[in-house]
Amino acid sequence: MKLLLPYIFVMIVIFNFLLRRGSNKQEQRTKAFWDKESKANLTRKQDISKLNYITIPNNLPQLNEGDVQFDLAVSENKTLMRRFEELESLREKKILNLSSISNTDLKMEYGAANLTELSSYDDNYTTLIKNLSTIGHELINLGFKDKAAIYLETGIELGTDIKSNYYDLASLYIETNNDEKLAYLIKKAEELESINKEVIIEQLQEMSDKRKVILSDDY
């Protein structure tokens, strides 16, 4: 027991040292955050009229374009009708994808006075990508897969990080043997700045690998 006492004492000293060092680092991070936040709150309002606002594409399949079966199926689906209406209303609003930028950084860049307005534009973006994903999914269920792909691909090009948007589109590509587009989809997922990035890539890669196994078995 006496032989162990020096080692126990050393371990306690090391533990206390690491604990104090961790505490000091946390204090430094906290101070740095509040210093930056204070500076951000003092930043003057900047011009945000020329930011890279998102425009909803005009190539999205709409009602009353001559496809009677499509019109009927959509009109009988309450979820789809609501999503179509929300999507249409967004055309009159400003949309920005600010999901990778913190509120503090937004205030530092554009001024605290613009934060509420910018946040509303980011909310519009969230509504947009949710609608694109839901419409795409519902159209797949209704059998309008070509039209669904257009909505889902639009979501991808606009930087969505909604997992189902990627999985639904990957399934369509696999079903149509479109390996080139499947590879491009994985590439787009790798460009994401999102907490969903890794799980999306993992699932897409798994889907791709399963397809390769099936193809090799066929030969």
Q: What does the pLDDT look like over 65-106, one tens digit per residue?
A: 999 999 999 999 999 999 999 999 999 999 999 988 899 999
Interval 135-177: pLDDT, tens: 999 999 999 999 999 999 999 999 999 999 999 999 999 999 9
pLDDT at 30: 59
Between 38 and 110, the higher pLDDT residue: 110
Rounded to whole angstroms, the Cα distance separating 206 from 18 reads 41
Banded pLDDT at 19 (limits 50, 70, 90): low
Rounded to whole angstroms, the Cα distance separating 33 from 35 reads 5
Q: At what angle do helices 145-157 and 163-175 cross, to 10 degrees?
A: 130
For residue 142, CA distances in Å to 11, 135, 164, 194 come to 65, 10, 17, 30
Query: DSSP assignment, residue 61?
Result: -
The domain ranges of the chain are 52-218
Answer yes or no: is pLDDT of 55 > 80.
yes
Q: What are the CB-based long-range contacts (under 8 Å, 24+) for 212-215?
A: none
Rounded to whole angstroms, the Cα distance separating 211 from 28 reads 50
| pTM of the shown model | 0.82
Terminal CA-to-CA distance of the chain, rounded, Å? Answer: 69
DSSP SS3 for 64: coil
